[in-house]
């Protein structure tokens, strides 16, 4: 079984299998125990070529948790065993000090879907790192700005990003991965970290504007345009930044609402009320913005943020 045993977070780390029979059908299964002790698994069915070889970058998965040519499919399709929530996070707080160990095993393909897999024909361990020792890591403590700024190796300039989660505290995992891919990335907490408010209260866009200016003005960042990526409340704030701040060129929203929810957000002279009803937020899937405005005339137009068109970071 041909797979590298360790290394930085590089693409296509799972390569393939050799020594199978010509056109032999096999099942590959990946297993990993998360940093929180939860077992994750994935599997896919393949057919070897005429020489008994299998190349994950070339050969199609015929079924299982994904289909088609997916060299990283066994990794991105990992889901928690016995959990109904496929979005259960594997990532702990902070930069990964130890790798995530993924064991990949090869089995004869079962004749029927419900039949358990037989003994492993071969196995290999893949170690997935979420960071690299070559990254430059700076902890922000000056002024009111908090977080960690991660720079790729080299002189740059690099495209700049701000990364935010919505569940409090500092999470560097995604920022580390982005920095490993050549982005100068600020992991930005806004509550539940150091001397920031312990719980999420009313927010002011000034804090996020200060973060944007820090990234835009850094000598190793290719400014002035930067991007913002956010999850949950962090995604809402990313939309707000793009709506009210200059030079936010791209937004990636992960599980975020397109309106401001839960807390009031002050944007200069504008105050965006937080939507108090989750049901109102979910109405976005069934009603138009105009219908929502007619149902809730007290909501100001800026509080229903429109989707932001991404512009090139190279501008």
In a domain, 73, yes or no: yes
Residue 127 scores a pLDDT above 90: no
CB atoms within 10 A of CB 155: 7
Question: Is 0.75 topped by the overall pTM?
Answer: no
- Both 258 and 199 in one domain: the answer is yes
How large is the average pLDDT for residues 31-52? 90
- What totals of helices (H) and strands (E) does the chain contain, helices first? 6, 17
DSSP 220: T
- Both 141 and 289 in one domain: the answer is yes
Sign of the dihedral through C-alpha 169, 173, 174, 175: positive
- Both 287 and 144 in one domain: the answer is yes
Residues near 302 by beta carbon (within 8 Å), at least 6 away in sequence? 243, 267, 270, 272
Question: What CATH number corresponds to the domain at position 259?
Answer: 3.40.50.1820
Of the candidates 273, 146, 171, which has an alpha carbon nearest to the alpha carbon of residue 230?
Answer: 171
User: What domain range is 267 assigned to?
Assistant: 136-303
Q: Do 44 and 61 contact (CB within 8 A), yes or no?
A: yes
- Both 115 and 146 in one domain: the answer is no
Q: Which of 128, 154, 181 lies at the terminal end of a domain, its last residue?
A: 128
In a domain, 6, yes or no: no
pLDDT per residue as tens digits for the range 52-73: 999 999 999 999 999 999 999 9
Which stretch of 5-9, 244-248, 262-266 has the lowest confidence by average pLDDT? 5-9
How large is the average pLDDT for residues 271-288? 60
pLDDT per residue as tens digits for the range 18-38: 999 999 999 999 999 877 788
DSSP 69: -
- Both 92 and 51 in one domain: the answer is yes
Sign of the dihedral through C-alpha 299, 300, 306, 312: negative
How large is the average pLDDT for residues 176-183? 93
């Amino acid at each position: 079984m041909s797979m590298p045993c360790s290394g930085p977070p590089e693409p296509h780390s799972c390569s393939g299998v050799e020594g199978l029979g010509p056109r032999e059908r096999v099942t590959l299964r990946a297993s990993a125990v998360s940093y929180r002790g939860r077992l994750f698994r994935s599997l896919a069915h393949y057919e070897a070529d005429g020489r008994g070889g299998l190349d994950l970058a070339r050969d199609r998965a015929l079924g299982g948790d994904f289909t088609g040519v997916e060299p990283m499919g066994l990794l991105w399709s990992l889901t928690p065993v016995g959990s109904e929530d496929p979005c259960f996070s594997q990532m702990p707080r902070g930069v990964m000090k130890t790798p995530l160990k993924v064991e990949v095993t090869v089995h004869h393909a079962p004749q029927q879907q419900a039949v358990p897999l037989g003994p492993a024909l071969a196995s290999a361990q893949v170690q997935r790192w979420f960071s690299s020792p070559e990254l430059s890591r700076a902890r922000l403590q000056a002024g009111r700005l908090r977080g960690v700024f991660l720079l790729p190796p080299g002189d740059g300039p690099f495209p700049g990003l701000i990364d935010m989660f919505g569940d409090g505290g500092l999470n560097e995992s995604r920022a580390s991965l982005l920095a490993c891919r050549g982005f100068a990335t600020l992991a930005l907490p806004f509550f539940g970290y150091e001397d920031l408010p312990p719980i999420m209260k009313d927010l002011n866009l000034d804090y996020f504007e200060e973060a944007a200016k820090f990234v835009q003005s850094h000598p190793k960042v290719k400014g002035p345009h930067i991007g913002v990526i956010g999850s949950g409340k962090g995604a809402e704030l990313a939309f707000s930044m793009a709506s009210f701040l200059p030079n936010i060129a791209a937004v990636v929203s992960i599980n975020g609402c397109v309106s401001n929810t839960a807390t009031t957000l002050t944007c200069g002279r504008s105050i965006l009320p937080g939507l108090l009803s989750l049901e109102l937020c979910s109405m976005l899937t069934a009603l138009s913005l105009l219908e929502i405005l007619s149902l809730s005339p007290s909501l100001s137009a800026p509080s229903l943020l429109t989707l932001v068109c991404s512009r090139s970071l190279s501008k």
